[in-house]
Amino acid sequence: MSTQDELIAAGQRNFRAQHEPDWNALEGLLRQLQRGSLRKLTLEDTMRLPILYRAALSSLSIAREFSLDRALILYLESLCARAYFVIYGVPVRARDGIAQFFSTYWAHNVKSLWRETIVAVLLLFSGALVGYLLVMHDPGWYVSLMPDALAEGRGPNSSTAELADVIYGGARQHENMLGVFAAFLFTHNVEVSIMCFALGFALGLPTAFLLVQNGVMMGALIAVYAQHHLGLNLIGWLMIHGTTELFAIILAGAAGFRIGLSAIFPGAHTRMASAAQAGRATASVMIGVMLMLLVSGMLEGIARQLVSNDLARYGVGLAMLTLWLVYFYAPRRLRAVPR
C-alpha cells in the first residue's frame, strides 16, 4: 500500500472514531422512538436529537465530499433519512390516515388525472362502437372478438330465449354459486386493471390497447343481443355493476397513461425515474380502484342476479355512477396532500 493510500485509510479511521459515538447515540434514540417510547425520552435526549441529526448530516456531507467509504456513505444516508422522518414527520394514526384517504386524498388524485381519464373513456367507448358495428355488419366477427371464457356460451347462434335466460334466469341457475362467481369476476377485473396500470410505462400503448380491446368485446356482446331485440335489456343487466367496473378500469388506464406521459416527457429526471415517480403518485388511485372492483364484483355476482327488473337495474347502475362522479369531482376543501 502506498503512503498516500495509508494516509487516506488513516483519515477514514480517524473520521469514524471521532464521529461514530454521535452516530450510535442517534441510532439509539431513533430505535427508542420507533418503539413508541417517546415519553421515556428525557428532556436532555429530546434536546440532543436535532443536534445529533445535524451532526450526522455534516458527517454525510464530509463523507461525500472526500469520497470516503461507500458503505459508510450509504449508512449515513439511511441514518439521516430515518432521523428526518422521526423529527419532521407528522405521526398519523391508522384510522386517521384511512379517514383522510377516503375524505380527501383518493378523490384529489383521481381529479388530477382528469385529462388521462377523458382519453381512457374515449378509447374504451370507441372500441365498444367498433365492436358493435363490426358484429352488426357481420356476426362472424363475434368469434374473433370475444374469448370463449367470457362469452359463456352466448353468441350469434344462440336463440332469443337462450340469451334472455342469461339476463333473467341467472338467479335460479346460479343461486348457490353467487359468492364464487363474484370472487372470480373480481379477480378477472383486478388483472385487467393492474395490466392497464403496470403497462403504462411502455409509453401508454399497451394501456390504450387493453382499453380498446375491452371496449370492443363489450360492443360485440351488445350487438349480439341487439340482433335479438335485447340490446337495451342487456345494457341494463350490465349497468348494475358495469358503471362501477368500467369506471375503475378507466381510472386504472388513466393512471397508466400518467406513467406513460412521464416516460415520454421526463422533464429534469431520467425517463425511468420520472415514470417511477408517477407510479408512486398514482398508487393511491390504484388502491381505490381495487376497492371499486370489490364493490363491482359483489354487484356483478350477487345484485345483478337478484335484481331482475330492467328499470331497477338501470336505476342501480345510474345511482352508482352518480355516486362515483359526485365523490370524485364535487368541490371540496383540500388539505395538504402527501406525495
**pLDDT of 190-229, one tens digit each?**
888 888 888 887 878 999 999 999 999 999 999 999 999 9
Segment 220-275, tens digit of pLDDT: 999 999 999 999 999 998 899 899 999 999 999 999 999 888 888 877 667 777 77
Mean pLDDT of 73-95: 75
Position 4 pLDDT exceeds 90: no
Q: Retrieve residue 40's grid coordinates.
A: 421515556
**pTM of the entire structure?**
0.69
Q: Retrieve residue 116's grid coordinates.
A: 388521462
Position 337 pLDDT exceeds 50: no
Task: Tell me the pLDDT band of 336, cut-offs 50, 70 and 90.
Answer: very low
How far is 238 from 98, CA to CA, in rounded Å? 31
